[in-house]
């Protein structure tokens, strides 16, 4: 009788890569059909176009010629029957919070975030609970929120038509705070920016009540460990040149992150307490489930008032990461994902309304793709229905 030989790590890795290709192709086809269907239903009746006052908050670094962007979008707006459109630029010091609030105070009926996920996050913080419609012109690498809403990704005119249209979604906004962080990176904190807006307009305290001055918002995903390392190591110039593949290269360079002991305490979806201890290389907090080529949290929803906490662990080197890839790709195709006692990878998901996570060592923390610091403990909460987003 021939002895059974376990497949080599390289064969397992090859299977993982093949699975990635199949999954990417399937998801691209499904998402493209969804966006085409969405686009075919676009219309902007004259009665609407004549009565809206849109402001566009845009990141000038996304354009070689910001003025050309203004001119082009103004022409697109006029093609839709909109004559009055205003523009305001973000800055390194303020990626969109005070700009969004300024637009609201100026009487904007729609405030459109034109940029990547960082711009979308900041504008969302500025628009929370204002009741003003938020639109998105996706110009980033991931465009994760736009993908989850099925928005047009490759046509500014189509995206603008959706942003100015009547269809809207109530969307949750999540907030994360590093507790006694070991290090804060040089990234503006939207909670602090909101506090600054409130202090400059003493007649209103709404902004200060939205968040603590050390809280960072996120609309899609936050994480610690492997996820944070990946984002912190991603080269911005490489993202411009090769897009999403830059994250893949960074992820490969982050595979050696240590396993961490974790303790989670929070309020579960059903209202009771949720307390657990586990080991993980990465812990994620998801407000939505879809990334460009995978589904990370199949049950995650942008409007259910819940966060999906995803604990990811691997062992046995490359074999563990390959097994994890197969699990993720399987669930991306709608297949059940099973963890067994002998599996070299574990992927578990639980839903909470708010939580505190404490690790046995500091790890890099990221929100919506931006690394914000290094901490062993974070507090995360969800603000249900804080945003009204066109789509």
CATH number of the domain enclosing 166: 3.40.50.10330
358 and 285 belong to one structural domain: yes
0.75 surpassed by pTM: yes
Give residue for tokens 């402001």: 55
User: Within a domain: residue 108?
Assistant: yes
User: Within a domain: residue 247?
Assistant: yes
User: Within a domain: residue 276?
Assistant: yes
307-324: per-residue pLDDT in tens? 999 999 999 899 999 999
257 and 161 belong to one structural domain: no
Note the pLDDT of residue 150: 94
User: Within a domain: residue 351?
Assistant: yes
Q: Which two tokens stand for residue 341?
A: 């006692």
221 and 293 belong to one structural domain: yes
Note the pLDDT of residue 333: 83
Last residue of a domain, one of 143, 172, 201: 172
133 and 257 belong to one structural domain: no
| Spans in the chain with pLDDT lower than 50 | 1-18, 20, 22-26, 28-41, 205
Alpha-carbon span 147 to 221, nearest angstrom: 13
Alpha-carbon span 228 to 118, nearest angstrom: 15
Note the pLDDT of residue 38: 47
168 and 229 belong to one structural domain: no
Domain that holds residue 134: 46-172
Provide the residue count of the chain: 391
Last residue of a domain, one of 172, 202, 223: 172
Closest alpha carbon to 293 in 12, 25, 17 = 25
255 and 132 belong to one structural domain: no
Alpha-carbon span 367 to 189, nearest angstrom: 11
User: Within a domain: residue 264?
Assistant: yes
271 and 123 belong to one structural domain: no
User: Within a domain: residue 274?
Assistant: yes
Alpha-carbon span 374 to 15, nearest angstrom: 34
Alpha-carbon span 375 to 262, nearest angstrom: 13
User: Within a domain: residue 1?
Assistant: no
Number of domains in the chain: 2
Residue 371: strand pairing partners: 366
User: Within a domain: residue 138?
Assistant: yes
Alpha-carbon span 320 to 344, nearest angstrom: 5
Alpha-carbon span 137 to 76, nearest angstrom: 12
């Amino acid at each position: 009788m021939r002895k059974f030989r376990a497949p080599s790590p390289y064969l397992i890795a090859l299977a993982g890569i093949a699975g990635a290709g199949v999954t990417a192709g399937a998801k691209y086809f499904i998402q493209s059909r969804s966006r085409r269907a969405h686009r075919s239903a676009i219309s902007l009746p004259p009665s609407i176009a004549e009565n809206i006052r849109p402001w566009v908050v845009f990141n000038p670094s996304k354009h070689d010629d910001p003025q050309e962007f203004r001119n082009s979008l103004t022409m697109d707006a006029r093609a839709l029957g909109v004559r009055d459109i205003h523009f305001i630029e973000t800055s390194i010091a303020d990626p969109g919070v005070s700009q969004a609030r300024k637009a609201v105070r100026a009487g904007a009926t729609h405030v459109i975030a034109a940029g990547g996920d960082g711009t979308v996050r900041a504008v969302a913080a500025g628009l929370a609970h204002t009741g003003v419609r938020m639109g998105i012109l996706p110009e980033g690498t991931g465009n994760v929120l736009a993908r989850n809403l099925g928005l047009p990704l490759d046509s500014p005119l189509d995206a603008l038509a959706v942003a100015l249209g009547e269809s809207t979604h109530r969307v949750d906004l999540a907030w994360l705070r590093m507790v006694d962080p070991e290090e804060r990176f040089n990234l503006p904190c939207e909670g602090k920016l909101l506090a600054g807006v409130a202090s400059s307009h003493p007649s209103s305290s709404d902004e200060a009540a939205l968040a603590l001055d050390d809280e960072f918002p996120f609309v899609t995903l936050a994480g610690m460990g492997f996820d944070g390392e990946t984002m912190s190591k991603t080269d911005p110039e490489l993202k411009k040149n090769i897009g999403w593949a830059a994250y893949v290269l960074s992820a490969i360079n982050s595979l050696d992150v240590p396993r961490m002991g974790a303790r989670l305490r929070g309020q579960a979806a059903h209202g009771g307490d949720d307390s657990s201890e586990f080991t993980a290389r990465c812990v994620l907090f998801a407000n939505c489930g879809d990334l460009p080529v995978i589904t990370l949290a199949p049950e995650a929803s942008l409007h259910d008032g819940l966060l999906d906490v995803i604990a990811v662990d691997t062992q046995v080197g490359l074999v563990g990461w390959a097994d994890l890839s197969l699990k993720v790709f399987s669930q991306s195709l709608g297949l059940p994902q099973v963890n067994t006692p002998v599996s070299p990878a574990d992927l578990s998901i639980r839903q909470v309304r708010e939580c505190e996570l404490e690790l046995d060592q500091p790890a890099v923390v990221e929100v919506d793709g931006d690394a914000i610091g290094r901490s062993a403990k974070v507090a995360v909460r969800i603000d249900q229905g804080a945003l009204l987003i066109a789509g």
